[in-house]
A and B are shown apart, each in its own frame.
Chain A
C-alpha cells in the first residue's frame, strides 16, 4: 500500500480551481482515486456534478486526458477508448501502460448509465468504474435517484403532509455489479482513505473490469455543515449504512468492522434531509434500521463463506 507521502506526489491531477461546493465529497473521492491512478490515466465522465464543476470551457481541472460525451454512456465511451488502446498496442503504436477510469455519480451509474455499465463489464473491457454516490441528482438540484435512501427528502421525493420523503429503499448497485461476475468489486468511502486508495490500486491491477462504489457525502443535498463531510462519511460506516468490503473473484472480504454498535438514527440526525423523520414517530427509521441489520447479517455471512 502506498504511503500518504507517496500518494501526495500525485496531488493536483484533479487541480485546485475546480468549482465544486466546499465540503464536496465527490471532489475528495476524485482526489483520492487520482492520487493512486497517476498521470498515465484516461478519465471518462458522464454528465453530472463533477463533470460540470471540472471542465467549464476554457478551463479544465484535469491534468490527465479526459473525455465527456453524455449522461448515460460513459461506460460505452471508455469501452471505445480502451478498444482503441488495445488496437494501437497490438499494432505497436502505443507501448506504455495506461489506466482507464470512468467516474460517474449515482444518477449516471445506478440509473441512466446502468445499461452501458452492464454492457461494458460483460464485455470485459479493462477499466475501473468509480461511482461517487451522493445519493441523488445533485447537479440538477437534489432529485431522487435509485441510490436515494428510504425516508430521504429530495425535490422529487419531497416531504409533504401526505408523504414523508422517499418511500422506497435504495438499489444495491454493488451487489448488482458482484452479480456480473467482475473480478473486482468494492465499496469504499473517503473517510477511510487508506482503505479507499488500497482498493483503487487493487482495482487497477485487476485483469478485467473493476467497480468501486464510493459513498460521497454532499453538504448541499444532505444538508449538513460543509466541514462535516468526513465525519458524516465515518458515521455512515460506523452505523453500517455503508459497509466497507471487497469481492475479489467472487470472494467476499469485510474491510472494516465497526468498533461498537451505533444505531442508524445517529447518522440520520446529522442530516437535514432526514429531519422530517424526527417530527413525529416515524416507522421509516425502524424500517431503515431493519434493512441495515438484515444486509449486514447477510454480508457477514457472505464474508464467512
Chain B
C-alpha cells in the first residue's frame, strides 16, 4: 500500500491502470476528460496491455465496449453528463445484453442551460437503464469503488457505473491509499465470460418479440433483484482485505437521532460537520450516506429508517415530476411499505455546481427540528442556497 495525493479522476485512472482492462473505449468530456487522458498516457507508456479505442462519440464508446464485452473482454469507459445522455440508448442495451461494463462517471449537470459543474441529473436520469449505480464521496472511494465495480459487474453480468461529483471530487487532490498492482489483480481475478463471440457461433442481440421478450426482461429484473447480496459480498471481501468499511449505505451518529439526513456524494462530508455542530448544541441528528442507488436498497432502508421522527433527504437533482428529487421520490415510495410512516422532507441543492456549506445544512436540520416539534410540514420540498 502507498499513500498518494490524487484527484478523483487520477484515482479512477489509477484504478483502471491496476485493473488493466482488455479494452477501453472512451471519449473526452469535462469533467471526466482526465480519466481518459491519464489512461491514454498509461497506454502510450506501455503501463497497461489495454487496446485503447479513442472513439468519435460517447455513443460509439459504449457501443465499442459492448462489442468488446461480447467478445469476452474486460472493458471500462468513462464519461459525464451529455456523454452519458448520448449513451442513453446504449445503456439499456448493455444491461439487456448482460455486458459487464464499468463506467467511471463524473457527475455533471445535464443541459440546458449548459453548465460543466456538478449535480446528479446525469446519472439520476439513467436510473431505469438497468445499471448498478454506485456513488462515491471522495477520491479514496472513487478508487476503491472502481475496483469493486469490476468485480460486481463480472459476478452478476450487469454493467456498473461508479460516480464522483464533478470538480468537487474529480479535480480535488486528496489523500488516497493505493494498493499494490498485484493485490488489485488478486481481488478482481480473471474475467471469464460464459458466452463469447470467439467461443462458438452464437447470435447476440436477436429480435425478441411478443413471445419471449417479457420473459427475458423478467430475468433481467431478477438479476437486479438478486444483486444486492452480491454487492455486499464484494464489499465485505474488499473490506476484509484492505481494512475498509464499505456497505450499501453508511450511517453516522444515527443511534439516538430523531432526525436523519439521507444523501449521496461529496456533500456527505459537509453534512457530517453540520451534524457534529448540531450535536454540540444538543440536537440529536444523524446521517445516512447512500452508496448504492441501483438497485435501490428499499428493504434495508425501511428497516434502518422506520423509527426516526424525520427523514431529511438532500437531492442534487430534480425529477421534474413536481414530486421532488429522485432519492426523495424513491425513499417515500419505499417507506409506504412500513407501518410507522416517518415524516420525509426533501431539499434540492447544488444544481449546476452551486456550493453548499455547513451553515446551510445546519439551517435545514433546524427546520427539521421545528417540523418535529410542530408535528407538521409546511413545504415538503425546499431548496438550499437558491435565490428566490
**Chain A residues engaging chain B, CB cutoff 8 angstroms:** 39, 42, 44, 51-52, 55-58, 60, 62-70, 72-73, 75-88, 90-91, 94, 98, 115-116, 118-120, 122-123
Give A209 to B186 CA distance when docked, in angstroms.
Answer: 38
**Residues of the B chain whose Cβ atoms lie less than 8 Å from the Cβ of A65:** 197-198, 200-204
Q: Are A84 and B201 in contact (CB under 8 A)?
A: no
**Across-interface contacts of B70 in A (CB, < 8 A):** 67, 80-81
B197 touches A87 (CB 8 A): no
Inter-chain contacts of A98 with B (CB < 8 A) = 198
Query: CB-CB < 8 A to A60: which residues of B?
Result: 203, 206
Alpha-carbon distance A52/B60, docked complex (angstroms): 22
Q: Is B50 touching A87 in the complex (CB atoms < 8 A)?
A: yes
Let me know if A77 and B198 touch, CB within 8 A. Answer: no
Q: Are B67 and A81 in contact (CB under 8 A)?
A: yes
Within 8 A of A (CB), among B12-60: 22-23, 25, 49-51, 53-57, 59-60
Pull 7 A–B residue pairs with CB atoms less than 8 Å apart, ordered by A.
A55-B206, A55-B207, A70-B90, A82-B67, A84-B68, A84-B73, A87-B51
Minimal beta-carbon separation of B23 from chain A (angstroms): 5
Q: A81-B71, A115-B57 are in contact. Are A52 and B66 (CB under 8 A)?
A: no
In contact, A69 and B93 (Cβ under 8 angstroms):
yes
Min CB gap B114→A, angstroms: 21
How many angstroms between the C-alpha atoms of A44 and B68 in the bound complex? 12
Give the nearest-CB partner of B59 in chain A.
A73
Q: How far is the CA of A42 from the CA of B68 in the complex (A)?
A: 12
> Which residues of chain B are near A55, meaning CB under 8 Å?
203, 205-207
A69 contacts B212, CB within 8 Å? no
Is B72 in contact with chain A by the CB < 8 A criterion? Answer: yes
Cα–Cα distance between A86 and B53 once the two chains are bound (Å): 12
Which B residues lie within 8 Å of A52 (CB)?
A: 207
Count residues on chain B whose CB falls below 8 Å from chain A CBs: 43
Question: Which of A42, A58, A84 sits near B23, CB closer than 8 Å?
Answer: A84
Q: Which residues does chain A contribute within 8 Å of B72, judged by CB atoms?
A: 84, 88
Give the distance in Å from the alpha carbon of A70 to the alpha carbon of B90 in the complex: 8
Query: B207–A77 contact, CB under 8 A?
Result: no
Q: Does B163 contact A (CB under 8 A)?
A: no
Q: Chain A nearest CB: distance from B266 CB in Å? A: 32
- Bound CA span A86–B67, Å: 13
Given A77-B63, A80-B66, A123-B53, CB of A68 within 8 Å of CB of B198: no
Give Cα A168 to B10, complex, Å. Answer: 51
Residues of B within 8 A of A69 (CB): 63, 66-67, 90, 93, 97, 205
In the complex, the answer to whether A76 meets B67 with C-beta atoms within 8 Å is yes
A115 CB to closest chain B CB (Å) equals: 6
A120 CA / B61 CA spacing, docked (Å) = 11
Known: A65-B204, A79-B60, A120-B60. 5 other contacts (CB 8 A): A68-B204, A69-B205, A73-B90, A91-B49, A119-B56
Residues of chain A contacted by B67 (CB below 8 angstroms): 44, 67, 69, 76-84
Residues of A within 8 A of B207 (CB): 51-52, 55-57
Is B208 an interface residue when CB atoms closer than 8 A count as contact? yes
Question: Are A119's CB and B55's CB within 8 A?
Answer: yes
Beta-carbon contact of A42 and B197 below 8 Å: yes
How close is A122's CB to chain B, nearest CB, in angstroms?
A: 7
Q: Most chain-B Cβ atoms within 10 A of its Cβ — which of A55, A82, A84, A120?
A: A84
Q: Report if B180 contacts A (CB, 8 A).
A: no
Contact partner of A84 (CB less than 8 A), chosen from B51, B61, B205, is B51
A83 & B209 in contact (Cβ 8 Å cutoff): no
Asked whether A67 and B56 contact (CB < 8 A) given A79-B25, A87-B50, the answer is no
Considering the chains assembled together, what is the distance between the CA atoms of A270 and B209 in angstroms?
36
Given contacts A84-B22, A123-B53, contact A57 B206 (CB under 8 A): yes
Considering only residues 168-212 of chain B, those with a C-beta below 8 Å from chain A are 197-198, 200-209, 212
Residue of B with least CB distance to A51: B207
Distance between Cα atoms of A290 and B88 in the complex (Å):
45
Our pick among B54, B69, B93, B200 for the contact of A70 (Cβ within 8 Å) is B93
Q: Is the CB of A56 within 8 A of B90?
A: no
Docked CA distance A115–B27 (Å) = 14
B208 partner residues in chain A, CB cutoff 8 A: 57
Known: A70-B89, A87-B73, A119-B57. A80 touches B209 (CB 8 A): no
Q: What 3 pairs between A and B have smallest CB-CB spacing?
A: A80-B67, A119-B56, A80-B64
Q: How far is the CA of A63 from the CA of B90 in the complex (A)?
A: 26
The reply to whether B23 and A83 contact each other, CB–CB distance below 8 Å, is yes
Contacts of B61 in A (CB 8 A): 76
A65-B200, A81-B68 given as contacts; is B212 within 8 A of A58 (CB)? yes
Q: Which of the residues A73, A75, A118, A123 comes within 8 Å of B54, measured between beta carbons?
A: A123
Central interface residue in B71, B73, B212, by most chain A CB within 10 Å: B71
Once bound together, how far apart are the Cα atoms of A62 and B67, in whole Å? 17
Is B65 at the interface (CB under 8 A from chain A)?
Answer: yes
Give chain B residues whose Cβ lies under 8 Å from the Cβ of A63: 201
